[in-house]
A and B are shown apart, each in its own frame.
Chain A
Amino acid sequence: DADVTQTPRNRITKTGKRIMLECSQTKGHDRMYWYRQDPGLGLRLIYYSFDVKDINKGEISDGYSVSRQAQAKFSLSLESAIPNQTALYFCATSDPTGGSSYNEQFFGPGTRLTVL
């Protein structure tokens, strides 16, 4: 979905390096999410943010940190990358104003990260 962009799309780095993955959205949504996907598995939630001042840990937050710089921007950082953080990373957004019954998430194209 072009409304949710991720940079970079591909990144190869070395163990111990600090890496930042960025997500921007033009949908005007308050809620943003970071997921990782390992080969053959579903997505796992790393962190999520329901508004600019709100940050919450997901299922697998260890080794990661996030920053919500503005409504439209949500960055994921790996302070000291390790090989088992090699994965496909997705950012997503959602709009809660449609009511509790409706929480469609819109996903970005993904960032493929390789840690050597």
Chain B
Amino acid sequence: DAKTTQPPSMDCAEGRAANLPCNHSTISGNEYVYWYRQIHSQGPQYIIHGLKNNETNEMASLIITEDRKSSTLILPHATLRDTAVYYCIVRGNTGKLIFGQGTTLQVKP
């Protein structure tokens, strides 16, 4: 499974869009990009996933570059409750999720 690189921390103003980047330069053609978040010490929560097309759901949007070497998770209107650690994960055929250290997003009023 490919590894990912994320910035350790980011800040975002409440109500503004939060754009969280992820590099996965060694991703292979059949590996999916997944995003999870973990609020405080709760169990991680699934946000969104994609293969090569951009995806959107009620929580977020996922933008994957054409070469698939990087992606961006977008929270369109961040709230204080979005403060969490966000994990970008490349999932291969094994079905396993390999978590990195993630990005700590701090949403500020």
Contact = CB atoms under 8 A, between A and B. Distances in A.
B93 A110 contact: no
A59 B100 CA distance: 13
A41 interface: yes
Given A1-B43, A92-B43, A42 B99 contact: yes
Contacts of B45: 107
Interface residues of B, number: 21
Contact of A42 (B41, B46, B100): B100
Interface string A94-116: 10100011111111111010000
Interface residues of A, number: 32
Interface of B: 32, 36, 41-46, 49, 51, 87, 91, 93, 95-102
26 contacts: A31-B95, A35-B99, A41-B101, A42-B99, A42-B100, A43-B44, A43-B99, A44-B99, A45-B96, A45-B97, A45-B98, A88-B41, A90-B43, A100-B93, A101-B32, A101-B49, A102-B49, A103-B95, A105-B36, A105-B46, A105-B97, A107-B42, A108-B43, A109-B42, A109-B43, A112-B41
